Amino acid sequence: MALVAKAAPQPVMPRMAPREDLNPFRIAQIQFDMAAEYLKLDPGLRQVLRQPKRILEVSIPTKMDSGQLKVFTGYRVQHNVARGPAKGGIRYHPNVTLDEVKALAAWMTWKTATVNIPYGGGKGGIICDPKRMSHNELERMTRRYTSEILPIIGPDQDIPAPDMYTNAQTMAWIMDTYSMTKGYSSLGVVTGKPVSLGGSLGRNEATARGCLFVAEEACKVKKMSLRGATVAIQGFGNAGAIAARLFAEKKARIIAVSDSRGGVFNSRGIDPMKAVRYKERSGTVVGMPGASRISNDDLVTLKCDILIPAALENVITLHNADQIKAKIIAEAANGPTTPHADEVLARKGIFMLPDILANAGGVTVSYFEWAQNLQGYFWQEHEVSDRLSMVIRRAFSDVYETMRKYHTRMRAAAYILSVGRVADATLVRGLFP
């Protein structure tokens, strides 16, 4: 059955509560509903694709260094597996909620379909404060969480990866716990592993590199030069700090960076490597020499060519959308912009590179890592980077063409493309039993 309809009239935005709804899962559903309207999806199919396929909530009893027992709550959500195993990161944060994990899992489904890699979408999280936990406490909590979600993860089933406040070490613990339980070493159960343990060269930089590739393509469309362009980056972790370095290598000028404690600004440019070294010593970029202090709120509304939100959800809302002055927004973070804010930004003519395209470099190289693990054959770094460039630039072009075909915007286009692909796979598989 043909699924992707011919160019349809612009659907009306679904009705939302008068006050802006910041629940990430409801936002994810609104974004899906828009695409479903464009595609005129069957109501039954919409019901299937709107909800996660499987949700697991687990209690994670963990012995703290003090000898006390603490029970954390964790989740693993598999949103959709029509096109391949579930795939998505694990987040450690005090504000993790089930709805946030459900939203992140849904966004993974649409992201893997946007870049057309053979995965579904999943996500995990633990409600905890990793900054206040020791290395040993984190290891014990991670191993127990792994053993609790073990029945539903695996290289053919669901493949976790890092997200906020988890990293290659976390993945190594998960891989080891899974392997010890199974009785053999399973490299393909997680991605984002250390290179010494079957990780891929280039995985660490992948999210930021993908973000750079889409920004380069956007600059071509906007007839702007990346060289000399001013860039503000919110969030200075894996995605944000590496983006700062890669954009600076292309001679863009990084005028502001920030982390959870605040930000720094210098109109003549900040050296990202100096910021990294300062953060390593002080735990924050705030206070680094040669830059003045700026709040996270002010960073987002700075006059700049490219704004890169690379931290949390809901940083661009109705509250500040009108004040955004960037020409291009590249969403390295997941869900930084609300649907209402999107409308405002579009009216202002800001070119939006949506999260499911702009940060898809991470999951793309995760896919390369998994493929290398399954084959037992490893690639050189330039092969990883060249293939990443091919996948991301092709995805940009697919989304851009869809945008023109449907006379819509980049985010809606990415959703039309990805929801259409997942819907096609679902229909052709048929319903079991």
Q: Which two tokens stand for residue 284?
A: 């924050």
> For residues 131 and 112, what is the distance between their CA atoms, to the nearest angstrom?
30
- Of the candidates 53, 111, 123, 279, the residue annotated as catalytic is 123
CA distance 22 to 157: 31
Sign, Cα dihedral of 153, 157, 158, 159: positive
- Residue 267 and residue 255 in contact, taking contact as beta carbons nearer than 8 Å: yes
> Quick one: 36 or 362, whose CB is closer to ligand NAD?
362
Q: Give the Å distances, CA to CA, from 207 to 176, 213, 309.
A: 25, 10, 13
d(C-alpha 178, C-alpha 107), whole Å: 26
Binding region for ligand NAD (CB under 6 A): 162-165, 207, 234-240, 258-260, 296, 310-312, 332-334, 359, 362
Supply φ then ψ for residue 85, to 5 degrees.
Answer: -60, 155
The torsion angle over the Cα atoms of residues 210, 333, 136 and 278, rounded to 10 degrees, is 80
Nearer to ligand NAD, 3 or 357 (CB): 357
Q: Which residues contact 59 (CB under 8 A, 6 or more apart)?
A: 71, 72, 73, 74, 148
- Minimum distance between the CB of residue 166 and ligand NAD, rounded to whole angstroms? 7
Comparing CB distances to ligand NAD, the nearer of 199 and 237 is 237
Closer Cβ to ligand NAD, 225 or 292, answer by number: 292
- Please spell the DSSP secondary structure of 47-110, one letter per residue: HHHHS-SEEEEEEEEEE-TTS-EEEEEEEEEEEE-TTSSEEEEEEEETT--HHHHHHHHHHHHH
Q: Using CB atoms, what's the residue nearest to ligand NAD?
A: 237
Given the complex with ligand NAD, which of 73 and 260 has the nearer CB atom?
A: 260
CB of 235 to ligand NAD, least distance (A): 3
Shortest distance in whole angstroms from residue 427 CB to ligand NAD:
29
Residue 106 zone, left/alpha/beta (φ > 0; ψ -120 to 50; rest): alpha
Q: Which of 170, 159, 180 is nearest to 368 (CA)?
A: 159
User: Which alpha helices (DSSP H) does 255-338 contain, by range?
Assistant: 272-282, 296-300
Q: Is 123 a catalytic residue?
A: yes
Closest to ligand NAD by CB, 100 vs 139, is: 100
Nearer to ligand NAD, 41 or 242 (CB): 242
* C-alpha to C-alpha distance for 158 and 120, rounded to whole angstroms: 9
Q: How far is the CB of 345 from ligand NAD (least distance, A)?
A: 18
> Which positions are annotated as active-site residues?
123
